[in-house]
Structure 1
Amino acid sequence: MAHRDYVQDRETFLSKFGKCDDDGKKQFVYNSQLVKLAHREQVLITIDLDVPEVQ
């Protein structure tokens, strides 16, 4: 079993986590929230802990 680098995962999760939409394009789930944080339009990030089943 491969060893995971959790420090690296923690540092890149929000900027690289994405899901494929119906057209097969990757949509970065938290990208819009990160942009709003950077522009001071939002003060916190909401993380969805409800994980859908993998098909």
Structure 2
Amino acid sequence: MVGEIYIYGERVKDVTTHPAFRNAAASVAQLYDALHKPEMQDSLCWNTDTG
């Protein structure tokens, strides 16, 4: 399912390049990339008491 995003009445074609969303999209992408770096896993992933 692909949704449509509108801002100020304008349809956003690509959230990764639109000025209102590109920085947030880049931040999420960097976080996902960091989760796959072995040197970052201890800082970003850990076990909890509840699993």
Query: What is the TM-score with the length of structure 2 in the denominator?
Result: 0.30
Normalized per residue, the structure richer in helix is: 2
Q: Indicate the structure (1 or 2) with the bigger Cα radius of gyration.
A: 2
Query: What is the TM-score with the length of structure 1 in the denominator?
Result: 0.29
